[in-house]
């Protein structure tokens, strides 16, 4: 096989794969632009003859959708921020100090990541209930934070590992305390690692369903992922074209954030992947 033919086959396979991965989203867009009459025509109207933005108008004119989106942004941003803040000191210590028990602790942190949130949500539900903290965004943020911590510790540690220690040693000679060194010198240099940990946590938080579904009930508090599940289950509004529009509204912010920050995210996952 000549390289030329191999290139052609590569292109062919690439196009097939791209189509496979793109079609569901294109179909979603197609449905969301259709009138009910065109929905019933199925694939024959993949490109609607009378495209309409009415479905989006109807979804977005409902002020609740704005609230759901805002709730989702708020919950996952604060949860992600919390995780990075909590993880940073531990990551620094793991990167810079040697001490007895470091290996087991770091492995323990990693193991926590393997525990399904489903397992812990059962007792958490009861604790928060007793403390009167159900129906509160604070509780959800705390759980998001904990879910994000293990990965954050490892990602940020890897980030710290790549920063040469010579700079810190120089600062130490100048009489800076350990904490000052971290704050003034190391953290700014580690900002790419911090940012990628933050963004990965954001994206994971955006997909979270179980935690807010169990801990929150009031409609005005729900994030978008729970809201569209409820929306799909409410027969007054579950017509296909509206559901498609609602799904797009839920998906687009995450997609946009991802496309804008793709490089950073990719580097973060690769760093995580290579290190295990």
Partner 1 sequence: MIKDRRVWLWFAPVLLVLGGVYLIPVADVIRFSFSDATLLRPVTGYGLGGYQAAFSDDSLGVILRNTGLFTLLSVVSLQAMGLAIALLLVRGDRRGLYGMSALRTIVLAAWVIPGIANGLIWQMLFSEAPFGAINSTLRLIGLSPVAWLSDPGNAMISAVIANVWQGSAFSMIVFYAARRAVDPVLYEAASVDGARPVAQFFFITLPQMRGALLVNTILVTIQTLNTFDTILALTGGGPGRATEVLSLNIFNRVFYSYDLGGGSALAVLLLTISMALTLVYLAVLLRKTAR
Partner 2 sequence: MRFAYPLTTALALTASGTAAQDLITRDRVGPADAPNVMTFRLTAFDLYSSDDATREFFEERFLALMAEYPEWRIETQLQTDNIGQEQARMLEQVRAGRGPDCAMIDSSQLGLFKSAGVLSPMNDHFSQDQIDDLFPFVRDGVMDAEGNVLAWWWFTSLQVLYRDASLVPDAPATWEDLQAAALTTVEAGREGVLFNGGRWEGTAFDWLPNFWAQGGELVDADGRPVFNEGDNRDKMLAAINYYKTLVDEGAAPSRVTTIINYDEFNAAAAAGTAGLFIGGNWQYGQLRSTLAKDQFANWEISELPGPSADQRATGTGGWTIGAFSDDATAVEICARMAYEIYATEGNAFQGLLPTSASLYDAYDAFDGPEYDAFAAALVNGVARPGVAIYPEISNQLQVLLGDVLSGAATPEAALDAASDAVNAAYDRL
Q: Is 166 among the residues that bind partner 1 (CB under 8 A)?
A: no
Q: Which of 2, 5, 122, 164 binds partner 1 (CB under 8 A)?
A: 122
Q: Is 143 among the residues that bind partner 1 (CB under 8 A)?
A: yes
* Partner whose footprint covers residue 67, from partner 1, partner 2, none (CB < 5 to 8 Å by kind): partner 2
Q: Which of 214, 216, 222, 245 binds partner 1 (CB under 8 A)?
A: 214
Q: Is 44 among the residues that bind partner 2 (CB under 8 A)?
A: no
Q: Rounded to a whole number, what is the distance in angstroms from the first to the last CA of the chain?
A: 37
Q: Is 121 among the residues that bind partner 2 (CB under 8 A)?
A: no
**Closest distance of CB 231 from partner 1, Å:** 9
91 to each of 27, 88, 102, 216, how far by Cα in Å?
43, 5, 11, 32
Q: Please tell me what DSSP assigns to residue 182.
A: I
Q: Is 154 among the residues that bind partner 1 (CB under 8 A)?
A: no
**Closest distance of CB 183 from partner 1, Å:** 13
DSSP 185-245: IIHHHTHHHHHHHHHHHHHHHHH--HHHHHH---GGG--HHHHHHHHHT-TTT--HHHHHH
Q: Which of 40, 57, 191, 217 binds partner 1 (CB under 8 A)?
A: 40
Q: Is 269 among the residues that bind partner 1 (CB under 8 A)?
A: yes
Site residues for partner 2, window 191-250 (CB under 8 A)? 217-220, 230, 233-240
For the chain, where are the alpha helices, taking DSSP H only?
Answer: 3-32, 36-39, 54-61, 63-96, 102-112, 117-131, 137-161, 166-173, 178-181, 187-189, 191-207, 210-215, 224-232, 240-260, 262-275
Interaction site with partner 2 (CB under 8 A): 36-37, 39-40, 58, 62-64, 67, 129, 134-135, 217-220, 230, 233-240
């Amino acid at each position: 096989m000549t390289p030329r033919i191999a290139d052609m086959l590569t292109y062919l396979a690439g196009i097939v794969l791209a189509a496979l991965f793109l079609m569901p989203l294109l179909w979603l867009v197609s449905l969301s632009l259709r009138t009910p009459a065109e929905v019933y025509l199925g694939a024959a109207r993949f490109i609607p003859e009378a495209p309409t933005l009415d479905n989006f108008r109807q979804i977005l004119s409902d002020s609740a959708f704005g609230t759901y989106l805002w709730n989702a942004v708020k919950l996952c941003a604060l949860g992600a921020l919390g995780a990075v803040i909590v993880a940073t000191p531990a990551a620094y210590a793991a990167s810079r100090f040697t001490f007895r028990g470091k290996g087991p602790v770091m492995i323990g942190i990693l193991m926590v990541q393997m525990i399904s949130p489903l397992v812990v949500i059962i007792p958490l539900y009861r604790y928060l209930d007793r403390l009167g903290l159900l129906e509160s965004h604070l509780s959800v943020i705390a759980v998001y934070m904990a879910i994000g911590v293990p990965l954050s510790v490892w990602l940020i540690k890897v980030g710290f590992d790549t920063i040469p220690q010579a700079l810190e040693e120089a600062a130490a000679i100048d009489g800076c305390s350990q904490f000052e060194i971290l704050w003034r010198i190391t953290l700014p240099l580690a900002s790419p690692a911090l940012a990628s940990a933050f963004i990965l946590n954001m994206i994971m938080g955006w997909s979270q369903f179980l935690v807010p579904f169990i801990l929150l009930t009031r409609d005005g508090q729900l994030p978008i992922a729970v809201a569209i599940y409820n929306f799909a289950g409410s027969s007054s509004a579950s017509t296909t074209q509206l559901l498609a529009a609602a799904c797009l509204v839920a998906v687009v912010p995450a997609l946009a954030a991802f496309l804008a920050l793709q490089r950073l995210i990719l580097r973060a996952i690769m760093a995580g992947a290579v290190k295990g």
